[in-house]
Amino acid sequence: MSAQELVLKQRTDILHALCSSGSAEHLERVLDVLLAQGELTWEDYQNIQVPGQALYTKARQLLDVVYTKGADTCGIFFAALKQVLPEVQGPDFSSSGSCSDVDEKEETRRTSTQTLLTQRPSLIYKLQGCIEGALEALVQSSHFTKADFDEVRLPIHTPTQQARRLLDLVRSKGESAAAAVLQYIHQKHDVGSPPKQEKLTPPKEVLTYQKKLSSSVCAQSCFLSTYGGTSHMSLDDIYTEGQLELAHDCVDIQGPLGLEDIVGTAGTVNEEADTVLISGEAGNGKSTLLQRLHLLWARGAALQDYLLLFPFSCRRLNSEQRELSVQELLFQHCCWPDREQGEIFQFIQDHPHFILFTFDGLDELKQGFSDEHRICCPTQRAPVHILLFNLIQGSLLKGVRKVVTSRPEAVGPVLKKYLRKEVLLKGFSPNGINCFVRKHHNDPTVAAKVLESLQANTALLGLCHSPVLCWIVSQCHKELLGCGEGSPQTITDVYLMILQHFFQRQSPLKSAMGLGWLQGHLETILHLGQLAFEGISMTCYVFSGTDLETRGVTEKDICMGFLTQSKDMSSTHSKHYEFLHVTLQCFFAALHIVMSNNTDRSVIPKLFNLQELRDTGVKRACFRSCLPSTDQKEHVLDSEATAAETPNLQITATFVSGLLSQRHLSLWLHCCSTTMVEKKARLVARCLSKGMHKHFKSIPQPVQGEKKSMHAMPGFVWLIKCIYEMQESRIAKDAMHKLEVDHLKLTYCNIGPVECTALAYVLQHLRNPVGLQLDNNSVGDVGVEQLLPCMHICKSLYLRNNNITDEGIRKLIAKGIQCDSFQKISLFNNNLTDACMQHFSHLLKTKQDFLSIRLGNNNITEEGAKQLAEGLKSNQSLKYLGLWGNKVGDAGAEALAGALENSQTLLWLSLVGNGVGSTGACALANVIRNSTSLEEIWLTENCITRAGVECLIEALQHNARVKSVWLRNNDLSSEEVQEMAQRESRLTF
């Protein structure tokens, strides 16, 4: 079958592949490739990319054009499709035409305007990270006006769309503008770009060393330590993609971030810096991600621009007591060159762009990052943390790319100054959980059962977004499937499950013999608890044989499987041990705090006062005073390290809360004194309540006329999570009943499904309804479901930028309809499509007191607008309706206008950037003509021509109440703008 016939036959599938995500990106990338190949003319392109046209319509238009051009173009189209969507099944026509940019020799003969077309895909890629700079260069060289600048920068466009808009505008300005932008891009990408441009033939000794290094890296990275004591699981078999995002929106790239993007140019905020930070919460997969990068590099499957990769673990660097030079650090801690050390190090110094260092777990380093002690000389010896800080800053071996991982709390402003960019690792997506569980279980029936039990327990499903918890849950599938009603709800429950799992694996008969499972292994818990507690208190995560001996840890304890042998790149060290994961060490430390008779009584108050101690920089001193005096002597008070150390103490405190909850009291019955445990539980409850009230006291009194608003301060979400772990509504009620606030702001607080579960558990006890603002977190559909129990105390819910889809909305609205106080919702920048508009319609029909719906920057088209209109027709309460940055088009605008014509409540309507055109504008003019309430209408960026504005002017003559009609960036000449602005002062151009 020819490619042309296939375009016809597979039309539905192709349309689905290009459009079903709701994003225009796939289609636009195919268009970029076809333009670059010369298969589409500029005119074809403009006929397809008609502003305001629905995505499917554009894709159909493309298929029609491609089809009429014949079999060759169809073949190239399939090749382009394959390049953009490699996962799509389809014929392989890649030989029909190369989808790469036109070759460079030919390029030199072209004009700059032609180059804009032929190099379009790569120019768009390169521009994303530097749009602002390119725009400024164009304005400075007078090729662009301020209006051009604003048009490209409109926030409704994604960065790739901004790049396309910029190139299209440049094209319309002529050859000189095209030359200017090309010059800018080339300059930009010659500086600080990956070292692709240089081709280097390394000397033989370097190649030999590279071989040794990569085989050592490969050996170290092919297994995961969490499976160390249990079974062997290769990284290849279990690795599941986590969710990666760039920390800075403005330089985001479209679609999910891949592993190579971590070191790529996208998202660069500081061109001068060489250090990329991957930050993420405990157990989110930072070490595993690095391990994956190491493995792929060692196999030659990724990061091949880097000849040598040196992996470091900050945890292990802690135990290096000597002062070293950089050369010694590299060779002694990573891989020893058998010969020619001097030459190899010289090569590294001479070619830094070909070298990559990774530092895992900066938060685990004993010393907090500081830039006070500078060294520039590579032969100078210094303590390893000083070397590390100087490498990160670039004072040593400038140009070597560094990838550093850390928990977010440990990243202070001093470190941020030296970051090239920051990438956030946000754990597994719902799909990722699915994928991980299936990989974990060879037997698909077991996998299906585990997934089914997760669907039935959404609190647990929420927890599984954290890979380490997903690992435990999968590991303990037997316990999970056997526990029926009592299935785990809290993080402590999950860790108790793994504790039980490991013990029962060793001695399955013990519990059958009548001993409590915990009691039967008391000795092991006490030994490991002591080791863990002292380790956490001293930032120590690697233990020598002597450390184990001193804490009474026996061979039998080791065999239980909670400890694993430390991986070490150098062969010189003797056997060392670590807990399978640091969170497991926190859990054992918490067990120690709960069970030990002789820990200092002040340990619990100190643990729960972390924030205060951290702020005053004395936490270490206080916490250390709980340690045996010999250990105190070993460690000097170092206030800089406090911030880095807090996360693990916070996790320990969370476990202490969970272990002391009423539900778990029976566990301690035969292990320790009930009076002591109850006393500790009361103490924790008091600390939590006090901690909360301290937050509330800090809320400033509102100025007159404003609402009383509380911004979450560091530690607030953690306290909420501790209260949730206790699972006692009395404590939650006690903590909340004094909070008097109208608005609770928790933006940018790393709130995922787990935090939502805890928030709902605690906030439901608020006395009065509040506005709950959760913008810019990772709530997702699972998180939305977790929030339902506190919906009745939400007057308004703000969930901007939270990865929410139609499914989440379905559940949210079904609950919201039953909640009397619920009146406003804001969902800007999520993944909503037409499919959820029926629910909003139902909400509007059912709740005649609903005030505000804001759905900007989603994927709502004409169809969705029509559905919404159905609800609007029978509603007489809505005041604010925002649909900015969707694609409702002229027909959608007509439907909305028809429904709103008789609204006596609507004050504000935004349809910015919806392609409503003049037809839509004329329909909306009827709303202006008839409304007795409308004050503002936003129609900026809508391809409206003179005819549309005339309708609006005419309607405004009948309405004195409307204050402004926004019409910036429509299809009007400057003369038209001037003339019409004079005729009607309420038009804003």
Ligand X SMILES: Nc1ncnc2c1ncn2[C@@H]1O[C@H](COP(=O)(O)OP(=O)(O)OP(=O)(O)O)[C@@H](O)[C@H]1O
By beta-carbon distance, which residue lies closest to ligand X? 285
Q: Which amino acid is at 299?
A: R
Q: Tokens 């919460």 — which residue?
A: 281
For CA atoms 886, 891, 892, 894, the dihedral sign is: positive
Give 467 or 783: the residue with its C-beta nearer to ligand X: 467
Cβ proximity to ligand X: between 218 and 699 the closer is 218
Handedness of CA 385, 387, 390, 392 (dihedral sign): negative
Residue (of 345, 399, 336, 392) closest to 369 by Cα position = 392
Nearest distance from residue 666's CB to ligand X, in Å?
30
The residue among 471 and 623 lying less far from ligand X, judged by its C-beta, is: 471
CB of 422 to ligand X, least distance (A): 15
Q: Which residues ranging from 426 to 485 are in contact with ligand X (CB under 6 A)?
A: 436, 467-468, 471
Q: State how far the alpha carbon of 842 is from the alpha carbons of 806, 825, 872, 920, in Å.
A: 14, 14, 9, 24
Given the complex with ligand X, which of 27 and 472 has the nearer CB atom? 472
For residue 407, state whether it binds ligand X (rule: CB under 6 A): yes
Residue selected from 288, 657, 801, 919 as contacting ligand X according to rule CB under 6 A? 288
Nearest CB to ligand X, comparing residues 78 and 436: 436
In the complex, minimum distance from the CB of residue 292 to ligand X, in angstroms, rounded to a whole number: 7
Sheet holding 576-579, edge to edge: 543-544, 576-579, 563-565
- The DSSP bridge partners found for residue 887 are 861
- Helices assigned H by DSSP within 625-742: 629-634, 642-659, 665-668, 674-697, 716-726, 729-736
Between 324 and 464, CB nearer to ligand X: 464
Gap between the Cα atoms of 8 and 251, Å rounded: 38
Least CB distance to ligand X at residue 363 (A): 7
With CB under 6 A as the contact rule, the residue among 52, 75, 228, 242 that binds ligand X is 242
Q: Which stretch binds ligand X (CB under 6 A): 234-242, 384-392, 750-758, 764-772?
A: 234-242
Burial 64-101 (b: 16+ CB within 10 A, else e): ebbbebebebbbbbbbbbbbbbeebeebebeebbebeb
* Contact pick of 283, 658, 771, 889 for ligand X (by CB under 6 A): 283
CB of 579 to ligand X, least distance (A): 10
Alpha-carbon Rg for the chain in angstroms: 31
Would you say 691 or 780 has its CB closer to ligand X? 780
d(CA 605, CA 623): 10
* DSSP assignments along 971-985, one per residue: S--HHHHHHHHHH-T
Phi, psi of 203 (to 5 degrees): -65, 160
Could you say which DSSP state residue 713 is in?
A: P
- Angle at Cα 252 formed by Cα 250 and Cα 253, nearest 5°? 145
Mask for 173-212, x = binds ligand X (CB under 6 A): ----------------------------------------
How far is 556 from 561, CA to CA, in rounded Å?
Answer: 10
Q: Which of 37, 128, 220, 226 binds ligand X (CB under 6 A)?
A: 226
DSSP three-state, residue 661 = coil
Considering the complex, state which of residue 278 and residue 793 has its C-beta at the smaller distance from ligand X: 278
- Of residues 121, 361, 488, 892, which one binds ligand X by CB under 6 A? 361
Smallest gap from residue 400 Cβ to ligand X (A): 23
Question: With respect to ligand X, which residue has the nearer C-beta, 498 or 528?
Answer: 498
Task: Please report how close the Cβ of residue 537 comes to ligand X at its closest, in angstroms.
Answer: 17
CB of 504 to ligand X, least distance (A): 20
> What crossing angle do the helices spanning 674-697 and 642-659 adopt, rounded to 10°?
130
Q: Looking at residue 52, what DSSP letter applies?
A: T
State which of residues 239, 822, 884, 938 lies at the interface with ligand X (CB under 6 A).
Answer: 239
Q: How many C-beta atoms surround the C-beta of residue 444 within 10 A?
A: 9
Distances 366 to 362, 390, 537, 646 between C-alpha atoms, Å: 9, 16, 11, 12
Q: How far is CA 14 from the centre of its chain?
A: 30
* Interaction pattern, residues 551-590, with ligand X; x per rule: CB under 6 A: ------------------------------xxx-------
CB of 506 to ligand X, least distance (A): 20
Q: Say how far apart CA 342 and CA 89 lie, in whole Å.
A: 52
Task: Work out how close the CB of 578 gets to ligand X at its nearest, in angstroms, rounded to a whole number.
Answer: 11
Hunting for tokens 């159909």 — which residue is that? 60
Please say which residue, 524 or 648, places its beta carbon nearer to ligand X: 648
Q: Minimal distance in Å, beta carbon 265 to ligand X?
A: 24
Closer CB to ligand X, residue 280 or residue 864? Answer: 280
- Taking CB under 6 A as the binding criterion, the range among 62-70, 236-244, 672-680, 846-854 that sits at the site for ligand X is 236-244
* Smallest separation, CB 179 to ligand X (Å): 45
Q: First-to-last CA distance in the chain?
A: 54
Q: Which is nearer to ligand X, 531 or 788 (CB)?
A: 531
Closest residue by Cα to residue 361 from 582, 145, 179: 582
| Closer to ligand X by Cβ: residue 282 or 298 | 282
Residues counted in the chain? 989
Angle at which helices 642-659 and 716-726 cross, to 10° = 20
- Residue that the structure tokens 């790529």 belong to: 264
Place of tokens 């679609």: 255
Min dist. Cβ of residue 218 to ligand X (A): 18
291 versus 829: smaller Cβ distance to ligand X:
291
Q: Which of residues 666-705 bind ligand X (CB under 6 A)?
A: none
Nearest approach, Cβ of 169 to ligand X (angstroms)? 41
CB 786, min distance to ligand X, A: 22
- Name the residue nearer to ligand X (CB basis): 220 or 287: 287
Cβ proximity of 787 and 813 under 8 Å: no
Using DSSP, state whether 243 is helix, strand or coil.
Answer: coil
Nearer to ligand X (CB atom), residue 152 or residue 472: 472
Q: How far apart (Å, rounded) are the C-alpha atoms in residues 383 and 548?
A: 26
Candidate residues 52, 75, 121, 285; the one interacting with ligand X per rule CB under 6 A: 285
Q: How many residues bind ligand X (CB under 6 A)?
A: 24
Span of 283-291, 699-707, 762-770, 907-915 interacting with ligand X by CB under 6 A: 283-291
CB atoms within 10 A of CB 503: 21
Binding ligand X (rule: CB under 6 A), the pick from 4, 119, 284, 474 is 284
Binding region for ligand X (CB under 6 A) out of 238-246, 453-461, 868-876, 926-934: 238-246
* Interface positions with ligand X (CB under 6 A): 224-226, 238-240, 242, 280, 282-288, 361, 407, 436, 467-468, 471, 581-583
